[in-house]
Structure 1
């Protein structure tokens, strides 16, 4: 099965060009030819939000060439480490001097040696596990997993040939890639516009090209609220989707009401890169009723929770680690080039690392993250819960990030002054019945974000 539907279209806003039908197929074919001329091995592609990057990805997928999608802003040292460990056939859209063992060809680094590890034939896409720093592994996603997830998402969102989706999110981010996949597989149109939902050019494109949907992570919705987003200004825009972390319930209700008022719909979803990436969608017609839920599993998937003793259950209200089973689960991780040749190591089962429970109707509720735990004077606290507690404390803080700091927790509050931070510390102290000194709420001009729009906790840890 192909990812590129016969009626799919790409609109390149920057180039003023639309590709469809035979012309789009020819461009993808040229990308396939260019990739086939490279040495053996996985291809690294630095994925900007532009037409060449999309065509490179489609050329790789359609030709069966394994491709790793790399953040173009990735730290140079991290990229060098990845190149050393995985010895890719080439690094496309590279910059600067080529590392040892590579030569420069146009904008690319090409490996000098023809010898390399042949990736497993099922392997299609690799995505790094972390953001701009660290020593990331690569998530190995099969062609079957990518296609299964694209079809399941298209089914629950009712995507058809009339849909027009913009590139709201980076294409190296699994959610952004998922939006692209789920629309192209259903003959829909993708508008390639690089400025994102907070850029003026994006909203011009929404009106010019009749965009029908918008996808965002929680930070985007916090910002849209500040900008007083009004869907009535955009007559064709009638669908909102949200994933990439838990959006606070009051914002879900607010945006859902906005969309209902104009005859639109909002979908809340949950996923992980390791699941290609989406696992749930709350049906739009039940969003208000199921506020706070991540929704039921996508078609073909199912959930259970794993208790401390290792047993699994679907009994309502029992909290444990969320375990997902479905055709979209990754093949596994790769630490170096030897891992590229491995087959499926997970068998369609993913222990998510998230805590949650499943209600009587099979709707999943996420309550926290196993590793997002801090200590305040020896008492274990959920960092995610602390962030939520600050947001609902009505002290004037909407964007906040909590990190563990020894025997206390530091919370960075965006745009807050010192008095507001003191109010937040007192509110946490009263809520958890722990001394106020255990909650160090600090003002910060802007909470740092990864390219995906998620909070960059590692950078914040470096500021302690």
Structure 2
């Protein structure tokens, strides 16, 4: 069961609290309403409003497959998803213009499909999440009920989540990491604080103090910003657990926030995951961070890593690099690109080829070195874009925020807030290290790197700038 009998939802803007039997009743009521809908998946424009979270929990309780979407998704992309998957309903639809083939309910919060027939999703299919943010033509990741619940339970045990814990919605709920925070805390009987603002809003930190938040989840960008804001956990006596996932964080940041938390008796957990794994696969226990800095951890219980070498064989031998392969009960059933595929069963049998490059050490701890497909070409020479980003960070140019994208037979390097001299230095550094002509590196300064709603760099947006 996803919602423990002691779990609580706290809606920060109104102060409303749903707990225990009251929360259970609200979830069952919504489950009954969703169970009466025609066949098909349910779409939810997922926000941190109480009604939106109850929509999600009600769908899980009713056994209805539900897709969580970014509420700021462009109209054309939303329309395309509706056309491809023909959901029985679109929840959280306030403000959405008229949709062909759908009609609004009495309150206008839900759009219902006119056609009564539809593909019945596979009985094990619980949650669907897009493979990309606000750009592109995303497929949906098909997560089984077992995968979602097992991962939530495992995370709760690994992090030691207790019924006294309070976690805020510091990440969007349509983002797998943010949804994982919600799931793992509700399953353990803890509280989730629903707050509409991000962590850079004063009201967010006021709520952290008022509701005695105990844990905070963030991606590397959040920690970069917290460092600039001179975040001090001593100002928030209840906050004693930080978790980080959503990309590789700089070693300096890991060491700094580990030291900050340790100084106040707290903990930092570095984690690794993908939406396709519901989503978390590994963690570095807080006590192992000093001697495993740079690692994303060892596999969670019931999971295992191996490395696929260039010859196609897999190994767990220390130090051998290649594509990271994960095996576990939380691996997705597969992808769906259209409605008909919602009825398909498990296609991966618990094996996920992550597309990440890395290696294992002698203790089974995983180190990520880049992406298999983050490749560009400079004058015909293949280069790993993640490696170039790391080279710039290590060049001591006074620039931490860097993004590299592929151009036409060159790469474009974006530096946040960089002076002209830093841009020139970055170009010379890369040219010297790669032994390529400097004209292959187009280095540009930007006020701030564009971010997706989950806090990750919006690479497609940078690519579109040319």
Which residue number in structure 1 is paired with residue 272 of structure 2? 270
CA deviation after TM superposition for structure 1 residue 279, in Å: 0.2
Cross-structure match for 1:108: 110
CA distance in 2: counterparts of 1:195 and 1:396, whole angstroms: 30
Q: Is the 8 A contact 1:97 1:104 kept in 2?
A: no
Aligned-partner Cα distance in 2 for 1:422–1:124: 51
Indicate if the aligned counterparts of 1:248 and 1:388 stay in contact, CA closer than 8 A.
no
After superposition, what is the alpha-carbon deviation per residue over 1:113-148, rounded to whole angstroms, capped at 9, x for unaligned? Answer: 110001111000000111101111100000100011
1: CA distance, partners of 2:290 / 2:24? 42
Aligned positions of 1:221-236 closer than 5 A: 221-236=223-238
Partner deviation per Cα, 1:203-257 (whole Å, 9 max, x = no partner): 0011001101111001111111110111111111111100000001111111111
Partner of 1:65: 64
Tell me the equivalent position of 2:81. Answer: 82
How many residues are aligned here? 463
Task: Quote the offset at 1:393 in angstroms.
Answer: 1.5
Residue 135 of structure 1: which of 111, 117, 137 is its match? 137
User: Partners of 1:96 and 1:289 in 2: how far apart?
Assistant: 51
Q: Which residue does 2:20 correspond to in 1?
A: 21
Listed as ranges, the gaps of 5+ residues in structure 2 are none
Distance in 1 separating the partners of 2:346 and 2:38: 24
Instruction: Tell me how far apart the structure 2 counterparts of residues 122 and 424 of structure 1 sit (CA, whole Å).
Output: 50
Structure 2 residue aligned with 1:387, among 386, 389, 392?
389
Tell me by how many angstroms 1:395 deviates. 1.0
TM-score (norm 2): 0.98
Shift, 1:195, TM fit: 0.9
Q: Is the 8 A contact 1:304 1:323 kept in 2?
A: yes
Give the deviation of 1:438 after TM superposition: 1.8
Partner of 2:344: 342
Displacement of 1:33 after TM fit?
2.1
| Counterpart secondary structure, 2:352 | strand
In the alignment, what sits opposite 1:181? 183
Task: Give deviations 1:252-278, integer Å, cap 9, x for gaps.
Answer: 111111111111110000000000000
Of 406, 409, 412, 1:407 maps to 409
Matched, 1:96 2:100: no
Gaps of 5+ in 1: none
For 1:225 and 1:423, how far apart are their aligned partners in 2? 25
**Residue equivalent to 1:287:** 289
Q: Pairwise mapping of residues 62-461 of structure 1 onto structure 2 (< 5 A)?
A: 62-94=61-93, 95-105=95-105, 106-461=108-463
The answer on whether the counterparts of 2:5 and 2:21 sit within 8 Å (CA) in structure 1 is no
Question: What SS does structure 2 have at the residue aligned with 1:139?
Answer: strand
SS at match of 1:25: helix
State the SS of the aligned residue for 1:304: strand
Q: 1:35 matched to which residue of 2?
A: 34
TM-score normalised to the size of structure 1?
0.98
Counterpart Cα distance in 2 of 1:149 and 1:336: 26
Secondary structure of the residue aligned to 2:298 is coil
The Cα of 1:430 is off from its aligned counterpart by 2.6
Deviates more, 1:9-18 or 1:387-396: 387-396
Shift of residue 446, structure 1, vs aligned partner: 1.6
Structure-1 separation of matches of 2:251 and 2:383? 21
The 8 Å contact of residues 329 and 350 in structure 2, kept in 1 or not, is answered as yes
Structure 2 Cα separation of the partners of residues 353 and 392 of structure 1: 24
- Give a deviation string over 1:58-117, Cα, whole Å, max 9, x none: 001111110000100111111111100100001112233332211122222110011000
C-alpha RMSD of the superposition: 1.0
1: CA distance, partners of 2:438 / 2:272: 34
